[in-house]
Amino acid sequence: MASKEANLEALLYAAGDNGLEEQNLIEMLEIDGESLDKVAQNLQQKLTQDADSGLQLIHIAHTYKLTTSPQTAKIIEKYFQKDLTKNLSQSALEILAIVAYRQPITRVEIDDIRGVNSSGALQTLVWRGLIKADGKKDAPGHPKLYVTTDYFLQYFNYHSLADLPLIEDFADNDSNGEIDLFEAKGTADKQMQKEEE
């Protein structure tokens, strides 16, 4: 059975950039606030003392997060400068398609559609400038609403969101479920033009 420190580390890893609020951790780990502080201190000490660890535990505004440690800053900077994420992963493309067609949309709504946590790939898309937070939803917690950016249009060589292929075009698709939502550029514009005529 995993220790409380291991469980905390796993939860914070899974939570990604958003981290987890103290109250959620208290409930999930089934401990009180004082015990959580102690477990967090132990994990932070373990990460700090391990010279081979590139992670640190931070505590900001009642939220715990796992982040890269300051001593790894140069390699992380090199990673983003080199843009090793030039080719988007399948999960990032999935999220991008969901945002493009359902915007504005929250991360939780994206997670519900995909059935898995999307925070890591979502953050990659924000860093890449393909999507951005644009306001907050009028709902408990006021989650961020995500939309595509002008750079998204440029990246896929679109003039407007109307250039996105129509979802209906894929309804009778016989390609074993494999479709490329960014392949049929301009379909929506042509359809709108036909309707105007």
pLDDT per position as a tens digit, 3-57: 999 999 999 998 887 789 999 999 999 999 999 999 999 999 999 999 999 999 9
Q: What is the pLDDT of residues 133-185, one digit of tens each?
A: 999 988 888 899 999 988 888 777 777 888 888 876 655 554 455 545 555 44
User: Tell me: domain 2-71, CATH 1.10.10.10, correct?
Assistant: yes
Tokens 């979502």 map to which residue? 122
Query: What is the 3 state secondary structure string of 125-139?
Result: HHHCCCEEEEEECCC
The pLDDT value given to residue 12 = 94
Which residue pairs, CB below 8 angstroms and at least 24 apart, start in 173-176? Answer: none
Binned at pLDDT 50, 70 and 90, residue 192 comes out as very low
Tokens in use for 170?
């894929």
CATH 1.10.10.10 in the chain is located at 2-71, 88-167
**CATH number of the domain at 88-167, out of 1.10.260.40, 3.40.50.1000, 1.20.58.2240, 1.10.10.10?**
1.10.10.10
Rounded to two decimals, what is the model's pTM? 0.48
Binned at pLDDT 50, 70 and 90, residue 82 comes out as low
Contacts of 19 (CB under 8 A, 6+ apart): 12, 60, 63, 64, 65, 66
Q: Helices 22-29 & 4-15, crossing angle to 10 degrees?
A: 130
Q: What is the pLDDT of residues 116-127, one digit of tens each?
A: 988 888 988 998
H-assigned helices in 16-141: 22-29, 33-49, 73-82, 90-102, 107-114, 119-127
The pLDDT value given to residue 180 = 54
